[in-house]
């Protein structure tokens, strides 16, 4: 009986040692993989620094304070709520001096983004690329001042690498399903989209479209 107990204890000891060895091996593999991954990432960044010199970038700073005078109470509340949230760095600042508008432009047009600023419409040209960049904004927030613009007015799109100046050459109303206003163009253009009428209660039946063509560009 004592021999059987001794054999069982010996088997238990062997299994325990084998189990500890397997755990140790797994830990070693995991740690080794993490170290290797970290080394690979560091190598990638090191090579990127040597092959792609840093492009000088400037901080985008506002010129005009946010003016709530034309905003609806709902839009003011929505904007202020976003100030406590984290947002990715905006792509650009859209500025129209005539109506003292300056608004950050983010990528996308969901409610959260349009409460905070304006948004690049998916499927349109990316900011900094040639083509037609579509930018949407709320009619009862940042974009309500568009009611006072005219043909020939200028607007500026400022990015971290330069400034583009556009001249407004078309203002029109379309139905919500008319996406032809966002069609691709061979030359740089900017199309602003918001709901219309500006003071309509409920779901607005039309879209107010402002199209502008590139006048000049300054690189930093």
90 is catalytic: no
CA distances from 170 to 41, 135, 151, 208 (A): 49, 15, 6, 11
How many of the other CB atoms lie within 10 Å of CB of 46? 10
Q: CA separation (Å) from 38 to 32, 49, 64?
A: 10, 17, 44
At residue 94, φ and ψ (nearest 5 deg) are -100, 125
Task: Name the residue with tokens 């007015």.
Answer: 153
Q: Is residue 138 annotated as part of the catalytic site, yes or no?
A: yes
> Using CA atoms, how far apart are residues 143 and 121, in angstroms rounded to an integer?
15
Choice among 45, 86, 195, 211 that is catalytic: 195
User: What are the residues facing 101 on neighbouring strands?
Assistant: 96
Q: Can you spell out the DSSP letters for 132-148?
A: EEEEE--TTTGGGGGGG
Structure tokens, 52: 């792609």
Q: How far is CA 60 from CA 95, 130, 149, in A?
A: 12, 21, 24
Contact in structure between 157 and 101 (CB atoms under 8 Å): no
Task: Using CB atoms within 10 Å of the CB of residue 198, give its burial: 0 to 12 exposed, 13 to 18 middle, 19+ buried.
Answer: middle
The catalytic position among 86, 90, 138, 211 is: 138
Q: Which residues are catalytic?
A: 138, 195
């Amino acid at each position: 009986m004592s021999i059987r107990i001794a054999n069982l204890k010996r088997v238990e000891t062997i299994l325990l040692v084998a189990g500890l060895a397997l755990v140790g091996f797994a830990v070693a593999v995991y740690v080794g993989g993490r170290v290797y991954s970290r080394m690979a990432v560091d190598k990638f960044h090191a090579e990127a620094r040597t092959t792609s010199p840093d492009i000088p970038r400037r901080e985008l700073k506002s010129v005009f304070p946010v003016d709530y005078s034309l905003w609806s109470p709902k839009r003011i509340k929505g904007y202020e709520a976003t100030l406590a949230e984290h947002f990715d760095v905006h792509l650009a600042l859209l500025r129209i001096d005539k109506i003292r508008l300056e608004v950050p432009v983010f990528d996308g047009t969901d409610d959260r983004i349009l409460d905070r600023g304006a948004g690049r419409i998916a499927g349109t040209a990316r900011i900094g690329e040639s083509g037609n960049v579509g930018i949407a904004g709320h009619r009862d927030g940042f974009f309500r001042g568009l009611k006072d613009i005219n043909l020939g007015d200028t607007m500026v799109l400022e990015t971290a690498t330069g400034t583009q100046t556009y001249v407004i050459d078309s203002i029109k109303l379309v139905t919500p399903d008319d996406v032809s206003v966002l069609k691709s163009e061979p030359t740089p253009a900017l199309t602003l989209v918001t709901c219309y009428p500006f003071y309509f209660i409920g779901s607005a039946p039309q879209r107010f479209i402002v199209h502008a063509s590139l006048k000049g560009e300054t690189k930093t």
